Amino acid sequence: MNLPFRVESEATAELLEAADWYEERRIGLGREFLEAIDETLAFVGSWPRSGKRIPDVSHDLPFRRFPVRRFPYHVVYVETPRAIRIIAFAYDRRSPAYWHSRIK
């Protein structure tokens, strides 16, 4: 049974911003980006422990990241007993620890 996703508001905002950016570059590319995100989330939902563990964050909760096919992004998440919490849709060329402040 797949756990539900709980997407943090900051993650939603950065996802929409990225989709808009891609759409401005080429019509339809934003949709392709969102489809790639959906594929990644479907995989993570089925196999939540498949993402690579992220060092230098709380060891109480195993934060993980999984790459998005075709795009320089990773989905950053943590599996909790009740949900898979999406912390960030992280752009690979951004400072890797920018989302650490979202850990609560």
Q: Which CATH superfamily is domain 5-94 in?
A: RelE-like (3.30.2310.20)
Q: What is the pLDDT of residues 10-53, one digit of tens each?
A: 999 999 999 999 999 999 999 999 999 999 999 999 999 999 99
User: Taken in order 76, 66, 78, 35, is the CA torsion positive or negative?
Assistant: positive
**Residues 43-52: pLDDT tens digits?**
999 999 999 9
For residue 56, name the pLDDT band (cuts at 50, 70, 90). confident
Asked whether the beta carbons of 84 and 6 are under 8 A apart, the reply is yes
Q: Read off φ and ψ for residue 79, nearest 5 degrees.
A: -90, 125
User: 3-state DSSP call for residue 36?
Assistant: helix
Q: What is the pTM of this model?
A: 0.89
Q: What is the pLDDT of residue 7?
A: 95
| Domain range summary for the chain, segments of one domain joined by + | 5-94
- Average pLDDT score over the chain: 90
**What is the structure's pLDDT at 83?**
94
Interatomic CA distance for residues 83 and 81, integer angstroms: 6
Distance from the Cα of residue 28 to its chain's centroid: 21
